[in-house]
Chain A
Amino acid sequence: MPILVPELLEVIRVAWMPADGSLNGPMVDRLMFWNLIALSVIAVAGHLWLAFAMLRRRAASRSVPAAVRWVLLVGFCAMYAWMALTAQRLWAANRFAGPSLTAMHVEVVGEQFQWYFRYPGPDATFGITRPELVNAAAGNPLGIDPRDPNGKDDIVSSVLVLPVGREVDLQLRSLDVIHGFFIPGMRLKQNTVPGLVLHIHFTPVVPGTYPILCSQVCGAGHARMQARLEVVSPADYEAWLANRERVRAEESGQ
């Protein structure tokens, strides 16, 4: 037993989500906080009720009047309605509307057991990909069609680098099985499904490095399917992009 005590104290200390770095994150956090507070209070109240009933030795003849039960029920229904409505508003804001027209575009591709990030390059258009051209050993892990001029300037990275403060539209694909694209620090999660192209959008606002995880079991390497999101200043982002473009141009020039 004595070994357990410090462990339990530690549990209480580490009780919250990792620091948020996205524009919409604080709303998620606030909602999560109030939900957890409300639900914890109810759980405690329920147990106090239970404890009171258990400690009452002599049976009271009168039970709880039906009116009290109805009032409680109506109160709970009001809470559920509040939860449903507030959460739906946030969900709608994040998912119903598309990104703004000025959002930048990055493609996310999941594969056992890594993430690839493709930038469209100066032409702002992704080249066509074909599964039969996928050949990671030959430097074409996504199967970009060399005959498509739009694909000539595409950049494929294993790190997701984004400029701070700019909205980004991610288009997510998977080459093989279902993966889960999860950035806890951006409060962002979306499965990548083979055969589907899915979109999510968000705005990183705090520079820093954030882990990207796989949240859908996808094979023996599931726990190692991680990548980094680096949110940098716009100038650093431009410099990084320019460097990647130069490297790409050199490689294709040979």
Chain B
Amino acid sequence: MKKMLSRIFTTDHRALGILYLYLALAAVAVGTVLSLLMRFHRVWPDAVIPFFGVMKPEDYLALVTMHGTLMVFFVLTTAPQSGFANLVLPEQIGARGMAFPRINATAFWLSVLAFLVLISGAHIKGGAAISGWTSYPPFSALPAAGPGQGLGMDLWLLSVGIFCVAAWLSAVNMLATILSGRRAGMTWSRLPMTVWGWLVASILTLLVFAVLLAAAVLLFSDRHFGSSFFIPMGDMIDGRMVGHGDGSPLLWLHLFWFFGHPEVYISVLPGMGLATSLFANFSRRRVAGYRMMAGMLVAIGLLGLGVWGHHMFVSGMNPYAGTAFGMVTMAIAVPSTVEVIGWLATLWGGGLRFQTPMLFALGFLSFFIVGGLTGPLLAQPALDAYLHNTFFVVAHFHLVMGMAAVFSVFAGIYYWFPLMTGRMMNETLGKLHFWISLIAAYGTFLPMHFAGLAGEPRHYDRLAGPVTSFPTLIPVERGITYSAFLLAAAQCIFLWNVFVSARRGRVAETNPWQATTLEWSDTEGPTRVEREAYEYELPSGEGGFHPQWESVGKEE
């Protein structure tokens, strides 16, 4: 018993990394089931769902809210950042361990607590919050504004607040580890690209989760302590006047999106770093323009702090501010383009090794291109004024933030599985999982662009309204739903593969991918790192590589 407890309440970073992945798995499983319920309801709105009954509008909105919150916070923030960094970051930089192991473990358990609080919202009277993961006030500030906006909203705020603290603590630990724990010789230009991703994501986490926490506290205060940061004078709900102060709903939008936009980069930057590493590894080449690639990750992070207003073009913000935010947003396309060109240049020479991690990294790139390209379109206020809050935006962020990040997580799991279990995952099942997921993900999210162009707003529980019912979209919606079910079904292959491979998979040899970064070394490695992160094919040609644990003097 005591042994089991010490295994659970561990400060070992590898164990914590795996625990984070379990948490993300739990969250992604719940989040996926919720999204399937939504997809089912949109196509068959009057059907009786087992264990659920006929879905009411507020049920649908609660599903949307929980789906978004679970996926953004508990999947896309935990798995690529906290999960993988805990798993390999100290080894990759040659550190003895994490800088603050106890803070690190505390962060994980707070995340679990936040998850449980959020989930509990679904089981209380009135149900979970229904104002979406962005929770705009006064809708989110007033319990009378709708079912679920009472205790459900309080639990949502509490969960988000706890998660902010957890993410913050985790980022402090990561940042301290990267800054102070690097082995001698592990200079900035020798860092694996994943570390650059985690570094920038940690800095962003530090800056923006603090703001979200503050905003959540202010909103909580508006709800319970009679303040009015976000509730304007004379605001009415349900025929009753509630606004007594002089608050501004737009203040919340600014605070929320100052967090919300960098959050996108927090979830995708680690994936970008990992993809860079995998492209180098599986093409046996150096990263084309390493310094540029690393610098552009930093540039994306910096610019990402100044673009939040592009979520607010039609919010009532001054239209001149819309112009400014549109321009800065367009500017962020430049470093993103540099990254894509760098990846394509690395891959151009061919001779690629198509093992499953590489396939998923290529899938990441495909989604990053397709989902990313609609970014410059949405950065134009004149066009966003039509597309804002339509399914076009849903398509955009599910591809570039959702699918790209999720595929990078899959790439990471297939890639680091030997480190976690000592065994390899099954390649055939892996490839099957990849191809079905890729096709089904495009089948799910590409058609949403058309629904958005047709003008279909988000958060509609059914298409048939009193004035318009989008009749042309019904077949599109059906196709999306079938595809979403296929996408979810394909994940069973993955789960099966993980389950079976962990017990009976082929035993992995040391450094099975012939990688160069330090986490694959079976020894402590040298006291001083003398090599760059991706010394493939040099200088001996075909297939040769020099891992970072090799010293320069020892040429073979």
Contact = CB atoms under 8 A, between A and B. Distances in A.
A178 B341 contact: no
A4, A55, A216 — which one has the most chain B CB atoms within 10 A of its CB? A216
A132 B333 contact: no
Nearest to A49: B344
A59 B351 contact: yes
A134 interface: yes
B377 A191 contact: no
Given A32-B383, A50-B344, A196 B316 contact: yes
A54 B283 CA distance: 10
Contacts of A196: 232, 250, 316
Contacts of B147: 220
A45 B346 CA distance: 16
Interface in A183-219: 184, 187-191, 193-196, 198, 211-219
Contact of B386 (A32, A193, A221): A32
A189 B351 contact: no
Given A7-B479, A11-B475, A220 B61 contact: yes
B369 interface: yes
Interface string B446-473: 0100100111011111100111100011
Interface string B531-547: 00000000001100000
Contact of A4 (B146, B334, B482): B482
Contact of A54 (B58, B247, B362, B390): B362
Interface stretch (A100-108, A146-154, A162-170, A224-232): A224-232
B327 interface: yes
The size class of the interface chain B forms with chain A is 35 or more
Contacts of A69: 288-289, 341-342, 345
B465 to A, nearest CB: 5
Nearest to B342: A69
Given A54-B350, A56-B349, A212-B467, A96 B319 contact: yes
B330 A176 contact: no
B288 A189 contact: no
A195 B455 contact: no
A227 B352 CA distance: 56
Contact of B380 (A35, A66, A184): A35
Contacts of A130: 234
B476 A14 contact: yes
Interface string A52-82: 1111111111111010110011001101110
Given A11-B479, A80-B376, A177-B139, A58 B351 contact: yes
B479 A4 contact: yes
B386 A14 contact: no
B55 to A, nearest CB: 12
B389 interface: yes
Contacts of A77: 334, 337
A124 interface: no
A64 B316 CA distance: 47
A36 interface: yes
B8 interface: no
A3 B337 CA distance: 38
A223 interface: yes
B31 interface: no
A31 B145 CA distance: 39
Contacts of A250: none
Contacts of A220: 56-58, 61, 130, 146-147
Contact of B322 (A46, A95, A216): A95
A62, A182, A188 — which one has the most chain B CB atoms within 10 A of its CB? A182
Contacts of B466: 224, 226
Nearest to B380: A87
Given A10-B475, A83-B330, A223-B460, A193 B482 contact: no
A193 B249 contact: yes
B447 A11 contact: yes
Interface stretch (B235-243, B404-412, B417-425): B235-243
A121 interface: no
23 contacts: A7-B478, A7-B482, A14-B476, A36-B377, A39-B373, A54-B347, A59-B350, A60-B348, A64-B344, A76-B333, A84-B326, A88-B327, A91-B381, A95-B381, A112-B238, A177-B237, A180-B314, A187-B385, A189-B386, A195-B235, A222-B459, A223-B459, A223-B462
Interface of B: 56-58, 61, 64, 130-132, 136-139, 142, 145-147, 232-239, 241, 243, 246-250, 283-285, 288-289, 314-316, 319-320, 322-323, 326-327, 330-331, 333-334, 337-338, 340-342, 344-352, 354, 362, 365-366, 369-370, 373-374, 376-377, 379-383, 385-386, 388-390, 443, 447, 450, 453-455, 457-462, 465-468, 472-473, 475-476, 478-479, 482-483, 541-542
List the 4 shortest-distance A-B pairs measured between CB atoms, nearest first: A56-B350, A59-B351, A195-B232, A87-B380
Interface of A: 3-4, 6-8, 10-11, 14-18, 28, 31-32, 35-36, 39, 42-43, 46-47, 49-50, 52-64, 66, 68-69, 72-73, 76-77, 79-81, 83-84, 86-88, 90-92, 94-96, 111-112, 130-132, 134-136, 175-178, 180, 182, 184, 187-191, 193-196, 198, 211-224, 226-228
